[in-house]
Each structure stands twice: as C-alpha cells, then as structure tokens.
C-alpha cells in the first residue's frame, strides 16, 4: 500500500476478478457528483443514429452509383467493392468484377460485414459501447450494471480476438476505396476533372486510412514484441509514425465513422437526382 493510500488521500485499487462483482461503491451507484452520464449518452445517441442510417442505406440496394449518364464515376463507400451479383444491374459496377455471384440481395449487406466487423471489434469502440449500451461500467467510478464480470473470456465477446484479421481485410478495402477516389476524377464524356463528389471520396478514403493505421493492432504489428528497436529500424520508424495517430484513435474513429455515412448520403442524393454534383474544375 502506498503512503497516499495509507493516508486515505487516494482510493484503494479494487482488483477485478473474473466471475465476481466488479468494484464500485456498494451503498449507491456512484459517489461522483459531476455529469458523468453525458459522455455515454452522447456515444449511445451517435452510434444509434449511425446504425439506423447504415441499416436504411444498406437495405436500399439502389442509388449507390453515379455513372456515365450524369458524367460521373462515384460509388458509395457502403457499396464498394461492389462484388455481388446484383451489382451487374448497375452500369459501372466495380472493375474488380463480380466475385460473389451467389449474392442477389443488396450488395451492401454483404460488403458491410468487413467494416462493421472491424469497428465492432475495435478496442476503442468496445470501450464506447460497453459503457454506453452494456453499462459495464458506464463510467469511471460508477458501479457496473451487471452482477458479475466475465471480461472477454466467453462467447460472443471472445470473438473480439479476431480484430487483427479484420484489420487486414479493412486495409484491403481501403485500397479499393482509394481506387474509387481516383476514379472519381474521371468524368465520362468530359475527361478529367474535380467535383465535390471527388473531394468527398478522397477525404473519405484518407480518413479511413488514418483511422486504420492508428489501430492498436496495427501499432503492435509494427512495433510489438521487439526488445531492441535499434535492430529493427524500419519497424521502429513505422511505430514512431503510428504512435501519435494511435493517441488520437478515438477522435479518428468518430470522424471517419460520421464521414463515411455522409459520403454515402452525398452519393445517394446525387444518384437519385435530389442534388447536383458541382464540378469545381
């Protein structure tokens, strides 16, 4: 026990034991007097709004591509890479071709498995939704919403261990979304140009790259399990580049999440003729 703990100036650490109740004040839910509930409430609101919009967009199965008729080459990130059978009905389906020929539903329902799995298993989002939805615990110094704590030792939470593999897939998707951004410079029948849609897809791809490389698993792959950095110069450089981004992983998670939904919305509005994609040059 430290001197500060003996003097009672800082609280003693309550060890967390698997299968037992987690620490926290016994007599009431919390001794905190600040508005600790604001953060989990905001998180729950934004995540619920995103899930509601993504579900709506994924089930649409249309208006996800702006093609040659409008002199554009813009595809929604929710529908890329468009590899399902149903993509063939849309002129300009992704040049990677049709791989999932068995899939005849909305392509997004197949494609979104990867970004969804990546975000669901993300270390930051785990903290966010454990606090805001699962109440485990809702905030620091607030009692757990459950009688016993099992950590991530059981199904389904043990599946979070696959995060690293979702990272690999997400990086592949980022390559495809970058290709989409490059293709957005193409204006069929008009040559090369730059529009608001081009800007949207470029910013979206950049944000997804930054979010992905700021991932904790990515940082570990680059700099983990090394005893002497001096013997691994390239990995050390990568680790040094990634570490400042990793410190902002939470902010990058939110910005990239909101922007990917806005990118889908923008393409959707242009494809359905509600707005015009303004050509800057």
| Closest approach of ligand FES to the CB of residue 223, in Å | 15
Q: Closest Cα partner for 224 from 203, 239, 245, 208?
A: 239
User: SS3 for 178?
Assistant: helix
SS (H, E, C) 68-130: HHHCCCEECHHHCCCCEHHHHHCCCCCCCCCCECCCCCCHHHHHCHHHHHHHHCCHHHHHHHH
- Cβ closer to ligand FES: 78 or 125? 125
| Closest approach of ligand FES to the CB of residue 172, in Å | 15
Query: Which residue has 């002129």 as its token pair?
Result: 91
- Cβ closer to ligand FES: 199 or 238? 238
| Closest approach of ligand FES to the CB of residue 117, in Å | 11
Query: Which residue has 């839910």 as its token pair?
Result: 29
CB 138 within 8 A of CB 37: yes
- Cβ closer to ligand FES: 36 or 123? 123
Binding interface with ligand FES (CB under 6 A):
122-124, 163, 167, 215-217, 249
- Cβ closer to ligand FES: 90 or 215? 215
State how far the Cα of 149 lies from the Cα of 128, in Å rounded to an integer.
17
State how far the Cα of 246 lies from the Cα of 220, in Å rounded to an integer.
11
- Cβ closer to ligand FES: 22 or 163? 163
Backbone angles phi, psi at 9, to 5 degrees: -85, -25
- Cβ closer to ligand FES: 93 or 121? 121
| Closest approach of ligand FES to the CB of residue 81, in Å | 20
| Closest approach of ligand FES to the CB of residue 126, in Å | 8
Hey, how many other C-beta atoms are within 10 angstroms of the C-beta on 217? 18
Q: Closest Cα partner for 152 from 136, 168, 132?
A: 136
| Closest approach of ligand FES to the CB of residue 215, in Å | 3
């Amino acid at each position: 026990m430290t001197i500060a703990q003996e003097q009672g100036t800082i609280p003693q650490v309550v060890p967390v034991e698997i299968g037992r109740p987690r620490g926290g004040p016994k007599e009431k839910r919390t001794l905190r007097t600040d508005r600790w509930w604001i953060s989990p409430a905001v998180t729950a609101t934004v995540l619920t709004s995103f899930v509601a919009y993504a579900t709506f967009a994924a089930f649409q199965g249309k208006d996800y591509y702006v093609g040659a008729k409008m002199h554009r080459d813009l595809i929604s990130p929710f529908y890329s890479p468009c590899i399902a059978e149903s993509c063939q009905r849309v002129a300009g389906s992704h040049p990677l071709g049709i791989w999932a020929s068995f899939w005849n539903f909305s392509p997004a329902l197949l494609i979104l498995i990867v970004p969804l799995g990546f975000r669901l298993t993300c270390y930051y989002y785990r903290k966010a939704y454990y606090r805001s939805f699962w109440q485990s615990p809702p905030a620091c110094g607030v009692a757990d919403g459950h009688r016993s704590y099992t950590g991530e030792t059981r199904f389904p939470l043990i599946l979070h261990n696959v995060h690293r593999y979702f990272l690999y897939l997400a990086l592949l998707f980022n390559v495809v979304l970058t290709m989409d951004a490059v293709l957005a410079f193409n204006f069929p029948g008009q040559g090369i140009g730059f529009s608001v849609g081009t800007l949207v897809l470029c910013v979206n791809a950049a944000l997804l790259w930054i979010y992905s490389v700021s991932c904790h698993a990515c940082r570990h792959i680059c700099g983990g399990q090394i005893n002497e950095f001096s013997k691994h110069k390239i990995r050390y450089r990568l680790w040094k580049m990634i570490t400042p981004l990793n410190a902002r992983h939470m902010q990058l998670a939110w910005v990239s999440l909101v922007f990917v939904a806005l990118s889908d919305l923008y393409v959707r509005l242009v494809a359905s003729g509600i707005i015009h994609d303004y050509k800057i040059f």
